[in-house]
C-alpha cells in the first residue's frame, strides 16, 4: 500500500486553478503527475540495479519480500566501508555476505554499478575498481537482483539467464539453498571462510570445505592444518555429528555423483530465519533467530569437545570422554610409545601387538556408535552389502577396517580403510559400526587356549584378592583412622608413588625447586627417573586442607579428562605425608602474568580471549559434560595454570563438590573459597551451585580484561571493587575504560566490550539471572545480541583498606583464601 499525499497548496489555490486556461491547467496536471510519480517511486524499495543505474553509499536494495538487504556497512567499531548482504527483518545487523571483504573503502564515496562488459563493479571516489564480478559473458541489458534467498544474481535482462551469483562465492555463512562443495567437471569449489574478527570481514584463518579425496567429507581447517572433521555422509547426516537431526524446519541433502559433490539445506518452514557460519574463533555454528529473546540461538556448535580435535588419539585408537584416559588403543593394539601415552601425549597412536596373517583366519572386532575414521584414503562401493564388504576387506592385505557407507534401510554400501584408521570418536547412541581387522589370536583362539586363559585369570584374581585382604588387615592394625577415611574412596585408580621417589625427584623439596605456595601447601617441580617433568603439591601439616579435601582432589581429578583441566599423574600417602603429582605446567599460573607489570605485556588481547574461552570450556565440561556435575568452588587466577603454549588449565580441586541425578544446589556450614571470587549466596548462606562458579568466572573474566585484581582494586573516586567499577562504567556507557591500557587496540574493541558485558552477566546478584556456562561459551563465540545485566553481587562500597569478616574465621597463609563457619 502506497500513501499519496496531495500538496497543501492545491486546496489553498482552488479558486485560482479554476480560472486557469486549458493549456495552463494541462501543464499543471503534467507537473503534478511528475511529483506524485517521484513520491511513489522513492517510497517503494527496489531490488534491482540495471545497466543505467547505480547504488551509492547510503542507498540499499531490499529483496521482494523484505528478507534481505544489500548496501554499504561498517562492521563493529570499524569505520571502513564494505558492500554486504544482511537479514532485513531482525534488529541485529547480521551480515551474511561481503563483496569487497579484502578491499575496504575508507570513505563514503563508493558506488556499485555496471561497466560496459556486464560486470558489476564497486568503484571508489577516485574511480579505482575495488571489487567486481567475474562473469565472462557480455550482454546488452544486464540486471543485478537481490533475491529473497539472500542470493545476489546478475542475469541477462532478455532471457533471465544467470551470469553470476553470490551463492557461488560464499564468505563465512551458508544460507538455505546455498551449495557447498565442488563442481567435478569444472573444478570450481564453494567453501566457507571465517572473518578475521568481528570488526574485520577479510579472510580469516578458518575454512570449512568438502575434501573430495577418497569418500568425500567436510573439514574445518586453520590455515593448512586440519582442526575438525565432520565425517562422511551416511545417508542421513555427517558421521561425526553427535545427534541425528530432528529439526522439522529444514531438509538436508548431500549429492555425490560424477558431476558434483555438494551439501545443501533447505527450509521447510520458511518463517524461520537461520544461518550456518564459521566464526573467527574456529566454530561451525547453526543459528536461528529467536523472536522471543530477540537474539540468535545456537542450534549446534562444532567442534564440541577435545575428542573433536582431529587425530588427538593418533592411529588405531578411539577417543571417548567418559573413559580415563580419553584415548584408548583398539583391541589388538598397544601404544606406539608407552612413555608418551602415559604422559597424556597420544598423538603417536597405537601399533599392532601381533601382525596380521593376511589370510581368511584373520577376523574383525566391532566398534559400535563411533564417528567413522578419516575417509580421504579409503576405498568405497555404494552398491555392496555389508557381508560383501567384509569379504572384500578380508581378501585385501592392506585393508584394516570396513563399514557401511549408508545407514538408511538397514545399511548399504561399503567403505574400506587402507593401512590405518585415524580420528575415531565414540558417539553414544548415534554413531556407526566400524569393523577393525585383527589376527585370529585376538579373537580368542581355540577352546583349550580359552580354558587356560580362564584358569589363569581365575588364579590371578584369587591371588589378587589374597593380597588385598592381607594389605587391608595390615592397614587396619597400623592406622585404623586412615582406613576409616579412605576405605570407600578411589585413590588406587591413580599410580601411587613412594615418598622417597618424589623426594628424590624434587631434590628433597629444595627451595630451588619450589614453584610457589598456596593455601594448602607448597608446590615443587620434580623430574621423575624417566625424565618426565611433574609438579608436586605437598600438603602442609598445618594446612586447612585436611584428609577429606586431599581425597576429594584425588577422586575428582583422576576421573576428569579435558584439555582445559590440569591432569593428575599420581599421589603419595605415606606416614604424615600427602602429595599430589600433576603434569608440569611450564608457564605457571595466570596471576603471575596478569597482575605482574613485568609480565603482563606478554598477554595481548587475542591470547587473553583464548584463555577466557579455554576456562569457559573447562567449566562447561565440569558442569555439564563430565560424568558428575562438579562445582569447583575456588575458581581464581592463581588456579588457572598455563602450558607451554599459554593454554589455560583449571587446577586445584580440593574444594570441589559434585552433584548426582537432578541435584543442582548444595548447602554447607563451612564456607571455603577466596574473597572477591565467591558469590553472594555462597558467602552469606553457604548455598553453592554451578552458578557459584559462573559468578567466579565473571569476576575472573573482568580481571583478565582489565589486568587488575577484583579485591585489591583501587580508584581515587570511589571504594568499589573492580566488579563495582566495571558496573559503574557500563551504566555510563564507557565500559571500555576498564580495559587494560596495554591492550586497548581499536581493532578488538568490540570483542572487549562484549567480554565485559558477558562478565557482568555472569556476576549478577541473583543466581537465576546468571547464564549457564553452555550459554556463556555460545555468547563468547558469536555476535548475537546480549541481554542487559542486572546489578552485580557485592555492589557496595568498601570503607576499610581491606575487608574483614566477623565470626569464627580461619585463614591460611594465603590471605585471600578463607574458611568461614556459617551459623544456622
Query: Which residues have a catalytic role annotated?
Result: 634
Say how many C-beta atoms besides its own lie within 10 A of residue 30's C-beta. 9
The backbone region for 498, taken as left when phi is positive above 0, alpha when psi lies in -120 to 50, beta otherwise, is beta
- Does 303 sit behind a cis peptide bond, omega within 30 degrees of 0 on the bond before it? yes
Measuring CA to CA, which residue among 209, 237, 233 is closest to residue 221? 209
Measuring CA to CA, which residue among 45, 19, 17, 52 is closest to residue 31? 17
Say how many C-beta atoms besides its own lie within 10 A of residue 132's C-beta. 18
Q: Would you state the cell numbers that stand for residue 291, as one nine-digit string? A: 523472536
Residue 720, H or E segment: none
d(CA 682, CA 56): 58
d(CA 545, CA 520): 5
Q: Would you state the cell numbers that stand for residue 455, as one nine-digit string? A: 584358569
d(CA 577, CA 571): 10
3-state secondary structure of 103: coil
3-state secondary structure 382-451: CCCCHHHHHHHHHCCCCEEEEECCECHHHCECEEEEECCCECEEECCCCCEEEEEEECHHHHCCCHHHHH
Say how many C-beta atoms besides its own lie within 10 A of residue 454's C-beta. 10
Decide: residue 324, CB within 10 A, 0-12 exposed, 13-18 middle, 19+ buried. Answer: middle
DSSP 166-220: GGGS--SEE-TT--EEEETTT--EE-EEEEEETTEEEEEEEEEEEE-SSS-EEEE
3-state secondary structure of 137: coil
> Are 618 and 565 contacting, i.e. CB atoms less than 8 angstroms apart?
yes
> Are 618 and 700 contacting, i.e. CB atoms less than 8 angstroms apart?
no
> Are 785 and 296 contacting, i.e. CB atoms less than 8 angstroms apart?
yes
Helices in 532-625 by DSSP H: which ranges?
Answer: 547-558, 591-594, 605-620
Amino acid at each position: 500500500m502506497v500513501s499519496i499525499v496531495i500538496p497543501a497548496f492545491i486546496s489553498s489555490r482552488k479558486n485560482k486553478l479554476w480560472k486557469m486556461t486549458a493549456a495552463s491547467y494541462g501543464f499543471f496536471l503534467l507537473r503534478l503527475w511528475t511529483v506524485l510519480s517521484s513520491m511513489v517511486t522513492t517510497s517503494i524499495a527496489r531490488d534491482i540495479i540495471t545497466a543505467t543505474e547505480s547504488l551509492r553509499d547510503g542507498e540499499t536494495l531490499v529483496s521482494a519480500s523484505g528478507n534481505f538487504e544489500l548496501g554499504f556497512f561498517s562492521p563493529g567499531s570499524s569505520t571502513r566501508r564494505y558492500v554486504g548482504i544482511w537479514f532485513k527483518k531482525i534488529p541485529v545487523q547480521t551480515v551474511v555476505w561481503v563483496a569487497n571483504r579484502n578491499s575496504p573503502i575508507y570513505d563514503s564515496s563508493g558506488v556499485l554499478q555496471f561497466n560496459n562488459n556486464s560486470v558489476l563493479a564497486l568503484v571508489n571516489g577516485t574511480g579505482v575498481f575495488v571489487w567486481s564480478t567475474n562473469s565472462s559473458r557480455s550482454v546488452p541489458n544486464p540486471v543485478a537482483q537481490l533475491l529473497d534467498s539472500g542470493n545476489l544474481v546478475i542475469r541477462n535482462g532478455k532471457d533471465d539467464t544467470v551470469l553470476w551469483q553470490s551463492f557461488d562465492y560464499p564468505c563465512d555463512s551458508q544460507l538455505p539453498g546455498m551449495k557447498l562443495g565442488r563442481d567435478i567437471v569444472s573444478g570450481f569449489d564453494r567453501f566457507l571462510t571465517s572473518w578475521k574478527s568481528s570488526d574485520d570481514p577479510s579472510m580469516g584463518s578458518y575454512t570449512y570445505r568438502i575434501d573430495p579425496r577418497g569418500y568425500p567429507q567436510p573439514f574445518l581447517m586453520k590455515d593448512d592444518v586440519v582442526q575438525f572433521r565432520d565425517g562422511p555422509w551416511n545417508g542421513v547426516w555427517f558421521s561425526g555429528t553427535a545427534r541425528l537431526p530432528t529439526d522439522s524446519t529444514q531438509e538436508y541433502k548431500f549429492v555425490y555423483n560424477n558431476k558434483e559433490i555438494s551439501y545443501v539445506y533447505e527450509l521447510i518452514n520458511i518463517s524461520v530465519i537461520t544461518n550456518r557460519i564459521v566464526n573467527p574463533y574456529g566454530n561451525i555454528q547453526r543459528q536461528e533467530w529467536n523472536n522471543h529473546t530477540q537474539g540468535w540461538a545456537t542450534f549446534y556448535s562444532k567442534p564440541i569437545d577435545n575428542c573433536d580435535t582431529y587425530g588427538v588419539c593418533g592411529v588405531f585408537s578411539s577417543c571417548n570422554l567418559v573413559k580415563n584416559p580419553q584415548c584408548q588403543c583398539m583391541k589388538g593394539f598397544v601404544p606406539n610409545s608407552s612413555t608418551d601415552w602415559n604422559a597424556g601425549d597420544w598423538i603417536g597412536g597405537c601399533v599392532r601387538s601381533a601382525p596380521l596373517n593376511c589370510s581368511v583366519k584373520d577376523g574383525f572386532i566391532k566398534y559400535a556408535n563411533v564417528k567413522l575414521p578419516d575417509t580421504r584414503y579409503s576405498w568405497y562401493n555404494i552398491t555392496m552389502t555389508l557381508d560383501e564388504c567384509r569379504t572384500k576387506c578380508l581378501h585385501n592385505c592392506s585393508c584394516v577396517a570396513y563399514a557401511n557407507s549408508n545407514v538408511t534401510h538397514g545399511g548399504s554400501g561399503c567403505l574400506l580403510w587402507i593401512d590405518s584408521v585415524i580420528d575415531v570418536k565414540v558417539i553414544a547412541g548415534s554413531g556407526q559400526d566400524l569393523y577393525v581387522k585383527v589376527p585370529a589370536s585376538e579373537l580368542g583362539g581355540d577352546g583349550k587356549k580359552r580354558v587356560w586363559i580362564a584358569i589363569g585369570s581365575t588364579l590371578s584374581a584369587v591371588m589378587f584378592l589374597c593380597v588385598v585382604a592381607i594389605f587391608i588387615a595390615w592397614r587396619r592394625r597400623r592406622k585404623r583412622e586412615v582406613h576409616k577415611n579412605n576405605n570407600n574412596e578411589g585413590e588406587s585408580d591413580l599410580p601411587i608413588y613412594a615418598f622417597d621417589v618424589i623426594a628424590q625427584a624434587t631434590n628433597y623439596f629444595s627451595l630451588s625447586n619450589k614453584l610457589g605456595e598456596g593455601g594448602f601447601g607448597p608446590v615443587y617441580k620434580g623430574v621423575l627417573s624417566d625424565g618426565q617433568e611433574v609438579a608436586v603439591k605437598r600438603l602442609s601439616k598445618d594446612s586447612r586442607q585436611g584428609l577429606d579435601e586431599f581425597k576429594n582432589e584425588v577422586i575428582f581429578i583422576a576421573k576428569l579428562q579435558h584439555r582445559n583441566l590440569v591432569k593428575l599423574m599420581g599421589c603419595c600417602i605415606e606416614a604424615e605425608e600427602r602429595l599430589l603429582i600433576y603434569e608440569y605446567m611450564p608457564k605457571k599460573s595466570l596471576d603471575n602474568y596478569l597482575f605482574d607489570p613485568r609480565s603482563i605485556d606478554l598477554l595481548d588481547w587475542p591470547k587473553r580471549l583464548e584463555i577466557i574461552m579455554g576456562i569457559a570450556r573447562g567449566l562447561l565440561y565440569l558442569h555439564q559434560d563430565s560424568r558428575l556435575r562438579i562445582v569447583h568452588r575456588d575458581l581464581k587466577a592463581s588456579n588457572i595454570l598455563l602450558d607451554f603454549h599459554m593454554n589455560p588449565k583449571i587446577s586445584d580441586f580440593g574444594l570441589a563438590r559434585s552433584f548426582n541425578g537432578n541435584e543442582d544446589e548444595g548447602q554447607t556450614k563451612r564456607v571455603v573459597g577466596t574473597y572477591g571470587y565467591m558469590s553472594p549466596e555462597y558467602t552469606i548462606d553457604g548455598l553453592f551451585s554451578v552458578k557459584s562458579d559462573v559468578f567466579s568466572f565473571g569476576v575472573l573474566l573482568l580481571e583478565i580484561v582489565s589486568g587488575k585484581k577484583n579485591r585489591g582494586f583501587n580508584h581515587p573516586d570511589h571504594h568499589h571493587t573492580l566488579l563495582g567499577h566495571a558496573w559503574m562504567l557500563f551504566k555510563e556507557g564507557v565500559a571500555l575504560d576498564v580495559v587494560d591500557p596495554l591492550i586497548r587496540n581499536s581493532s578488538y574493541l568490540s570483542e572487549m566490550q562484549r567480554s565485559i558485558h558477558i562478565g557482568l552477566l555472569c556476576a549478577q546478584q541473583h543466581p537465576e539471572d546468571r547464564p549457564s556456562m553452555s550459554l556463556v561459551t555460545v555468547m563468547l563465540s558469536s555476535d548475537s545480541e546480549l541481554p542487559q545485566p542486572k546489578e552485580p553481587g557485592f555492589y557496595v562500597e568498601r570503607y576499610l583498606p581491606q575487608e574483614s569478616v566477623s565470626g569464627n574465621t580461619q585463614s591460611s597463609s594465603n590471605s585471600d583464601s578463607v574458611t568461614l563457619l556459617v551459623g544456622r
